[in-house]
A = this chain, B = another copy of it.
Amino acid sequence: MQNDHLFLKKTFKLAAKGSGLTSPNPMVGAVIVRKGRVLSSGFHRKAGSVHAEIDALNKIKGNVRGATLYVNLEPCCIWGRTPPCVDRIISSGIKKVVISTLDPNPAVRGRSVKKMRSAGISVETGILAEEGRRLNEVFFKNMEKKLPFVAVKSAFSLDGKTVTAGGQSQWITGESARGLGRTLRDKYDAVCVGICTVLKDDPGLEASLGGKAKIIIDPHLKIPLKSRLLKNSENRVFILTSAASRAKKNKLACLEKQAKIVVVPYGRSGFSPETVLKRLYKLGICSIYLEGGAYTSGAFFDACCVDKIYFFIAPLILGGTRALPVLGGKGVKQMKDAVEVADLKVKKVGPDLLIEGYPRYKAPAAQKVDSL
């Protein structure tokens, strides 16, 4: 058991090497062990490349008869861009497979385990399941809800302000926190901001890893053609708007060269974040890093659409009734409806604090007013 934990933790570490690269696939690591000795290990490098189990098996020249395979996620039993892993595992002579989490994909969930057991392999599952699930929180959200995972990042003062009473917002946190804030973009498929942030800060939203999408929520298509976000045509830029039909033809034509214009219904209370997320998921966006201001982030919280928070808190007081708060929107009326944030982690990043956690909504999203 002790060893099982040890080797599974090793698979988690291996899996995490694929962070930001495997989407829409999960992160997977595999370790093959015989008599307590690691024979080989592997991980899933990026979508389309060989799976972790196969990566590990490929590295062994001799036979693996009698060995145990550790893998953080149930191996696949379906043809994707690569053949099913279970067939290879069965034919390899592996005697035992230890799995942290079952694959949440309904097409796989438990079937691979059954198939391996039928073939005489001893299979254990559910070990360090919470850690395994957390590692692939994006993939689990995708499979279970058919929606992108949403992480909200914000940077604010000790008194919860993101913009001073005089309208300034740069910089609240120090270099280390801002650096980490940028690094975190790599973990997600897309960075998303509201048009107010574009108009105010003209951010570039660069990530270190290539291929990341940039999403601008811009109901009235106010984005200036010279925005930094539009400059780098290498990147996939999505502009979510309801105003495409009313935009000047010239502007629309220019924008369409640089970005994908996604028309989303816009009601009296604005966009529905859930509708936005559904559209984005269909467009292949599995996870979003929302660097929104009070309005955008507030709307996503109101709609119970935030899965994770990254709050960078600077050791500063800004004060001021007119200063902007972290979150706007409708908010909760009664204290009993406050959104609890579970699994709070606090760490120092330079002089600042980073608070990570997972909002736990009391009512299902459908019952809430969701406006953006």
**Contact digits for A290-332, partner B, Cβ 8 Å, 1 yes 0 no:** 0000100010011000000101000111111111011111111
Interface of A is mostly: loop
Chain B residue contacts of A334, Cβ below 8 A:
164, 166, 168
Binary CB contact string for chain A from 251 to 274 against chain B (1 if under 8 A, 0 otherwise): 000000000000000000000000
A327 touching B320, Cβ below 8 Å: yes
CA distance A342 to B316 in the complex (A): 9
Whether the Cβ atoms of B341 and A315 lie closer than 8 Å is yes
Contact yes or no, B164 A325, CB < 8 A: no
The interface stretch among A67-75, A154-162, A179-187, A206-214 is A154-162
Tell me whether B338 and A159 are in contact (CB under 8 A).
no
Complex Cα–Cα for A298 and B318 (A) = 10
Contact A327 B171 (CB under 8 A): no
Partner of A332, one of B319, B326, B330: B319
Question: Do the beta carbons of B318 and A331 come within 8 Å of each other?
Answer: yes
How close is A68's CB to chain B, nearest CB, in angstroms?
Answer: 39
Which residues on the B side are within 8 Å of A126 (C-beta)?
none
| Chain B residues, CB < 8 A from A331 | 161, 164-165, 318-323
Chain B residues lying within 8 Å of A302, measured Cβ to Cβ, are 319
| Any B CB within 8 A of the CB of A119 | no
Using C-beta atoms within 8 Å of the partner chain, give the interface range for chain A: 35 or more
Query: Does chain B have a CB within 8 A of A353?
Result: yes
CB-CB under 8 A from A323, the residues of chain B are: 325, 331
How far is it, in angstroms, between the C-alpha of A340 and the C-alpha of B159 when the chains are bound?
A: 12
- Check if B170 sits within 8 Å of A335, measured CB to CB: yes
Of A315, A319, A321, A325, which is in contact with the most chain B CB atoms at under 10 Å from its CB?
Answer: A319
Q: In the complex, what's the smallest C-beta–C-beta distance from A29 to chain B, in angstroms? A: 31
A359 at the binding interface (Cβ < 8 Å): yes
Taking CB as reference atom, which chain B residue is nearest A352? B344
Residues of B within 8 A of A340 (CB): 315-316
Smallest distance from the beta carbon of A363 to chain B beta carbons, Å?
A: 14
CB nearest to A169 among chain B residues: B335
The reply to whether the CB of A108 lies closer than 8 angstroms to some CB of chain B is: no
Query: Is A333 interfacial (CB 8 A cutoff)?
Result: yes
Contact yes or no, B328 A321, CB < 8 A: yes
Cβ contacts under 8 Å, A357 to chain B: 158, 315
Chain A to chain B: the 10 pairs with minimum beta-carbon distance, closest first: A160-B160, A320-B331, A166-B333, A319-B331, A317-B339, A165-B331, A321-B328, A316-B338, A315-B341, A168-B335
Q: Return 19 A-B CB contacts under 8 Å, by A number.
A: A158-B311, A158-B341, A158-B355, A160-B160, A161-B331, A164-B331, A166-B333, A172-B338, A298-B320, A309-B317, A315-B341, A315-B357, A317-B327, A319-B331, A319-B332, A320-B327, A320-B329, A321-B325, A321-B330
